[in-house]
Amino acid sequence: MFGLKQFLLVIVGGGIGSLARYILTTLIADKYGAHFPFGTLFVNVVGCFIIGFFMIWTTERTIVSPNLRILVTVGFLGGLTTFSSFGFETIQLLRAGNVVNAFLNMAANLGTGFLAVWLGIIAAKWI
């Protein structure tokens, strides 16, 4: 079940996902500023959409290798999405006394994340 091939798939996918997260969050922070973690919100929502779409597409619409699912979901999306960053940034907002942005960050990540998963599922079923 756990073999070297699967470990390598997670490592490669995770590396690509982490690099994508770094590039995207940096670009977004450069464009919109760092007063609110828009980059983290963006990659979380995109990751939620991708997992919703990919898992429905690859389980209900087409057959793919379990190794491709590992590469994309555990590897790439595990590296791309940033729930730990979301948690830390939210606590930092609270520690700085910015309660409104902290709760806005929580609501935005959870609400749009769940919405993105749902939209990904709908998109996969629609195609």
Q: Which H/E stretch holds residue 69?
A: helix 66-69
pLDDT tens for 55-90 read: 999 988 898 999 999 999 999 999 999 888 899 899
Angle (CA) 64-17-94 rounded to 5° is: 130
The whole-number pLDDT of residue 83 equals 86
pLDDT tens for 95-106 read: 999 999 999 999
Report the interhelical angle of 83-95 vs 38-56 (nearest 10°): 150
Average pLDDT over residues 9-14: 97
Q: Contacts from 31-38 at CB under 8 Å and sequence distance 24+? A: 35/101, 36/101, 36/104, 36/105, 37/85, 37/86, 37/89, 37/105
